[in-house]
């Protein structure tokens, strides 16, 4: 019976994944028997800070809840305030919002694909895919002024319009992604080693996904057709036919394993390219914001009373914000709920019975945005041995397993 006795008390960050994570678990041989969750290291008290800021300042705070989904949070927040106050967003602004959201989805999924490959040991795929991601970041910089944290949103519309030059650049970037998509799909989905490492690993059944209220690609890979862009469309999605993507589009059976999650995310990249093209073809003209002068907008919000819910399908799942305004400068209630919050509990059924070397890829497969949650303690009762492994040790184990299989 092998007993792992590495013991490093601090959980520093692995060069390739961003947040502090400490793993703390006991094992029986090589198998995990039980899992317990305990996040909290990244808790900054954002909702508490929101009590001293007016809604326009909260947009900039909400952008920095997470750097990868930095458009999703302000989008949901603006929708919540617009629903609470009753502000109508002009149609051109709705289309621009959807286009930037889909561009963000492309960059987030490619980022995830590179990191997943890195967890399996394919470092060159990490570098190649992140090089491909630079194209969409250049485009976003051209449209919005920054690679991350775009500051495009304002309550009632968007802050910047698109010129004809920018639109032709968008089309060029989309052509680039359509060309390169075949290669991405080939590298990930037709490689035998990746298939061996990811099929039947980290399975989440459909029933568990429904009971745990999983969202996003994690739920869709298990066969649950949950996608706000399809179920309760908003902004320009209401005019487009967006369907929730489940793995049977690509392969015949739905297993709910890590391979299916890769399939769903790669297919969503292609879907995003198609959505952006449809938006470009049907883009209406007109105003981009309901109320241009910020001082007037702020006065309108100070006198407003009402409550509203805003939801958005971020790359990781459903983001929901709830805002209650009560005739004062600061909102009475602001609740922000990122998608990883719901997906946290899905680690429990996914990790039970797995080998230790599979932990990195299973953990990464739900695409955790750990700026909202952070530490995972995995307990296991059988041997009574407690060991603390850091991310590097787990990563090493995962890479070694790939080498064993590939030979």
Partner 1 sequence: MENNKAEEVLKLFKEKFNNKIIDSRIETKTTGLKKNNYQVIWLQINPEDFKDTVDFLCSIYQYPHFAIISGNDKGENIELIYHFSIYYGERFKEISISLVLNLSKKNLKISTITDLIPGAQTAEREIKEMFGVNFEGLPDLPNIFLPKDFKKGIYPLRRDEKGIEKPVEKEEEVKEDD
Partner 2 sequence: MKLNKYFERSLWVFHLNSGSCNGCDIEIVAALTPRYDLERFGIKLVGSPKHADVLLVTGPVTAKMADKVKLIYEQTPDPKAVIVIGTCGTSGGVFYHSYNLRGPIDKILPVDVYVPGCPARPEAIINGVLQVWIKLEKLREELKVSQVK
Binding interface with partner 1 (CB under 8 A): 38-40, 43, 45, 47-48, 52, 83, 91, 94, 210-215, 224-226, 228, 230-239, 241, 244, 282, 284, 309, 311, 318, 320, 322, 324, 332-333, 335, 337, 341-342, 344-345
Name the minimum Å distance from CB 388 to partner 1.
17
Name the minimum Å distance from CB 48 to partner 1.
6
Rounded to the nearest angstrom, the gap between the alpha carbon of residue 112 and the centroid of all alpha carbons in its chain is 9
User: Which of partner 1, partner 2, none does residue 15 bind to, with CB < 5 to 8 Å depending on kind?
Assistant: partner 2
Please identify, using beta-carbon distances, which residue of 121 and 308 lies nearer to partner 1: 308
User: Which of partner 2, partner 1, none does residue 147 bind to, with CB < 5 to 8 Å depending on kind?
Assistant: partner 2
Contacts of 296 (CB under 8 A, 6+ apart): none
Binding site for partner 2 (CB under 8 A): 10, 12-16, 18-20, 40-46, 48-49, 52, 60-61, 64-68, 70, 111, 126-128, 130-131, 134, 147-149, 369-371, 392
User: Which of partner 2, partner 1, none does residue 199 bind to, with CB < 5 to 8 Å depending on kind?
Assistant: none
Contacts of 407 (CB under 8 A, 6+ apart): none
User: Which of partner 2, partner 1, none does residue 91 bind to, with CB < 5 to 8 Å depending on kind?
Assistant: partner 1
Let me know if 310 is exposed, middle or buried by CB neighbors in 10 A (0-12, 13-18, 19+).
buried
CB 361, CB 17: distance < 8 Å:
no
* DSSP 8-state symbol, 366: T
Q: What is the CA radius of gyration of the chain?
A: 22
Please identify, using beta-carbon distances, which residue of 88 and 141 lies nearer to partner 1: 88
Structure-token pair, residue 186: 């080939």
Q: How many CB atoms lie within 10 A of CB 230?
A: 15
Contacts of 218 (CB under 8 A, 6+ apart): 204, 209, 261, 317, 343, 346, 365, 366, 367
CA 306 – CA 328 distance, rounded (Å)? 11
Going by C-alpha positions, the residue among 39, 332, 295 that lies closest to residue 154 is: 295
Please identify, using beta-carbon distances, which residue of 83 and 402 lies nearer to partner 1: 83
Name the minimum Å distance from CB 390 to partner 1.
20
User: Which of partner 2, partner 1, none does residue 14 bind to, with CB < 5 to 8 Å depending on kind?
Assistant: partner 2
* DSSP 8-state symbol, 98: H
Name the minimum Å distance from CB 382 to partner 2.
30
User: Which of partner 1, partner 2, none does residue 249 bind to, with CB < 5 to 8 Å depending on kind?
Assistant: none
Please identify, using beta-carbon distances, which residue of 40 and 286 lies nearer to partner 2: 40
Please identify, using beta-carbon distances, which residue of 275 and 373 lies nearer to partner 2: 373
The β-bridge partners of 282 are none
The owner of tokens 């999924």 is 109
Please identify, using beta-carbon distances, which residue of 38 and 196 lies nearer to partner 2: 38
Angle between helices 391-406 and 91-120 (to 10 degrees): 70
Please identify, using beta-carbon distances, which residue of 75 and 234 lies nearer to partner 1: 234
Name the minimum Å distance from CB 40 to partner 2.
7
Cite the beta strand spans of 85-223 per DSSP E. 153-154, 157-158
| Dihedral over Cα of 263, 264, 265, 269: its sign | positive
CA 256 – CA 218 distance, rounded (Å)? 8
User: Which of partner 1, partner 2, none does residue 29 bind to, with CB < 5 to 8 Å depending on kind?
Assistant: none
User: Which of partner 1, partner 2, none does residue 225 bind to, with CB < 5 to 8 Å depending on kind?
Assistant: partner 1
Please identify, using beta-carbon distances, which residue of 16 and 326 lies nearer to partner 1: 326
Name the minimum Å distance from CB 128 to partner 1.
36
Name the minimum Å distance from CB 375 to partner 1.
10
Q: How many CB atoms lie within 10 A of CB 171?
A: 12
Please identify, using beta-carbon distances, which residue of 200 and 282 lies nearer to partner 1: 282
């Amino acid at each position: 019976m092998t007993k792992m006795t590495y013991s490093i008390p601090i959980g520093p960050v692995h060069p390739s994944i961003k947040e502090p994570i400490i793993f703390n678990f006991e094992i029986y041989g090589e198998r995990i028997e039980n899992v317990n969750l305990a996040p909290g290291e990244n808790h900054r008290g954002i909702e508490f800070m929101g009590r001293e800021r007016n809604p326009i300042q909260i947009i900039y705070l909400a952008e920095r809840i997470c750097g990868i989904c930095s458009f999703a949070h302000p989008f949901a927040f603006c929708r919540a305030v617009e629903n609470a106050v009753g502000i109508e967003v002009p149609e051109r602004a709705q289309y621009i919002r959807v286009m930037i959201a889909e561009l963000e989805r492309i960059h987030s999924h490619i980022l995830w694909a590179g990191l997943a490959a890195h967890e399996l040991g394919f470092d060159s795929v990490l570098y190649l895919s992140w090089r491909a991601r630079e194209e969409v970041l250049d485009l976003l910089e051209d449209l919005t002024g920054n690679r991350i944290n775009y500051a495009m949103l304002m309550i009632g519309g968007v802050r910047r319009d698109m010129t004809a030059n920018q639109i032709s650049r968008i089309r060029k970037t989309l052509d680039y992604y359509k060309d390169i998509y075949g290669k991405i799909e080939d590298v990930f989905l037709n490689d035998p080693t990746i298939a061996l490492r990811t099929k039947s690993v980290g399975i989440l059944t459909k029933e568990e996904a429904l009971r745990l209220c999983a969202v996003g690609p994690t739920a869709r890979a298990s066969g649950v057709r949950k996608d706000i862009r399809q179920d309760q469309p908003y902004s320009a999605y209401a005019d487009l036919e967006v369907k929730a993507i489940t793995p049977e589009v690509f392969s015949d059976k739905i297993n709910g394993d890590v391979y299916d999650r890769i399939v769903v995310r790669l297919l969503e990249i292609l879907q995003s390219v198609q959505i952006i093209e449809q938006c470009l073809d049907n883009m209406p003209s007109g105003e981009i914001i309901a109320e241009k002068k910020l001082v007037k907008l702020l006065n309108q919000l100070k006198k407003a009373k009402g409550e509203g819910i805003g939801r958005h399908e971020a790359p990781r799942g459903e983001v929901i914000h709830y805002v209650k305004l009560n005739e004062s400068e600061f909102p009475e209630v602001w609740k922000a709920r990122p998608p990883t919050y719901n997906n946290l509990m899905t680690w429990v059924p996914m990790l039970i019975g797995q080998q230790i070397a599979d932990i990195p890829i299973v953990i990464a497969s739900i695409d955790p945005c750990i700026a909202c949650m952070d530490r995972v303690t995995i307990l296991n009762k059988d041997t009574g041995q407690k060991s603390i492994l850091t991310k590097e040790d787990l990563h090493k184990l995962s890479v070694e397993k790939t080498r064993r299989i590939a030979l």
